[in-house]
Every structure is written in C-alpha cells, then in structure tokens.
C-alpha cells in the first residue's frame, strides 16, 4: 500500500509535501485493535492540516511499552488497516520507544497527541516549536480503548 512508507522513503515523501506547501499534521501510537476512539481522534487530527502522517509503533516497540501479550494485531496488519482510513495519508513504522527520530525527519507543522498528555511532556515538542509549528492535544472518546476491548473479550471467555 502506497501510503505505508518506509524510513528510507520518508525524506522524499516529506520534501515533496513541503515543496507543495502542504500543512503536515503528525501523530503517533500503537493502534492495536483499531476502534471508534482511534477513528474519531485521527479525524480530528486530520482536520488540523492538509496531510495526516501517523507514526506507528512496531511490534517490538509495543511489547516494550505495553507488555509481552501485546500487540494483539501484528504491525503489518495494523499499518494496512490504519493506512486504509480515509483520513490517514501516510503511515510510517518506528521501532524506538518514542517517535522522536521520526518527528526529527518529518518536522510537522502540527504535532498532535491525546489530551492525556501534558503539552510539555509531548515528545518532539521542541523540534516542532523550534521550526515554528504548534503542538495540540485532542480529547479522547470516553470508554473506548484497546485495553477495554481486550478486557471485554477475556471477561466473555472466562464467564
């Protein structure tokens, strides 16, 4: 799928978007078991610019962050499903624990995270603001999370 780009392709994609004067919005996450909360969040993020670029944690990165039982869905499948969403323009996987290096390459006009993050703690804030961009947070849809879905599945099996 063309909208899933490798780290090697990233520089060329970004320079083309910037040359065309596109306002780039960047967000990141695991996106394990894509759900309504993800879709609403990504839709709000896309509304902040012309192009939505999503950094997605690799399987190894998700395991380090969420534990050995995650991700539920493998990285190739997560990337394909995420890239198929109408509001997502590009997906790039990152293996690090944070998207800092990816943000350094993209240097988006708008960096977006969920409202559970304090703006000063958002990774890449320094890069984006130094380049004249902005950092914004978006409210989550209540009671919508992969953790909740996994719990519901486990509860349905054990009861």
Ranges of each domain in the chain: 7-158
Query: CATH: 3.40.462.20, 3.60.40.10, 3.40.50.620, 3.90.45.10. Which one for 7-158?
Result: 3.40.50.620
The C-alpha atoms of residue 24 and residue 3 are separated, in whole angstroms, by: 14
Tokens of 89: 């323009």
Radius of gyration of the chain (CA): 16
What is residue 144's predicted lDDT score, i.e. its pLDDT?
66
pLDDT digits (tens, 9 = 90+) for 20-68: 999 999 999 999 989 988 999 999 999 999 999 999 999 999 999 999 9
Q: Return the minimum-mean-pLDDT range out of 6-10, 102-106, 116-120.
A: 116-120
Question: Cβ distance 34 to 82 under 8 Å?
Answer: yes
What is residue 134's predicted lDDT score, i.e. its pLDDT?
98
pLDDT of residue 147 exceeding 90, the answer is no
Please give the model's pTM, rounded to 2 decimal places.
0.91
What is residue 155's predicted lDDT score, i.e. its pLDDT?
73
Strand partners, 111: 26, 135
Alpha helices in the chain (DSSP H): 7-19, 36-46, 59-66, 75-84, 100-106, 125-130, 146-158
Residue 67 falls in which region: left (phi positive, over 0), alpha (psi -120 to 50) or beta: left
């Amino acid at each position: 799928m063309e909208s899933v780009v490798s780290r090697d392709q990233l520089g060329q994609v970004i320079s083309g978007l910037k040359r065309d004067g596109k306002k780039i919005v960047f967000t990141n996450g695991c996106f394990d078991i894509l759900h309504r909360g993800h879709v609403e969040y990504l839709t709000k993020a896309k509304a902040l610019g012309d192009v939505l670029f999503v950094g997605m944690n690799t399987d190894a990165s998700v395991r380090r962050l969420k534990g050995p039982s995650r991700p539920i869905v493998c990285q190739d499948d997560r990337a394909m499903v995420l890239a198929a969403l109408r509001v997502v323009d590009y997906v790039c996987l990152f293996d690090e624990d944070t998207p800092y290096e990816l943000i350094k390459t993209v240097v988006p006009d708008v960096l977006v995270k969920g409202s559970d993050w304090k703006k000063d703690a958002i990774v890449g804030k320094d890069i984006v603001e130094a380049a004249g961009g902005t950092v914004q947070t978006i409210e989550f849809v209540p009671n919508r999370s992969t953790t909740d879905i996994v719990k519901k599945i486990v509860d349905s099996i054990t009861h």
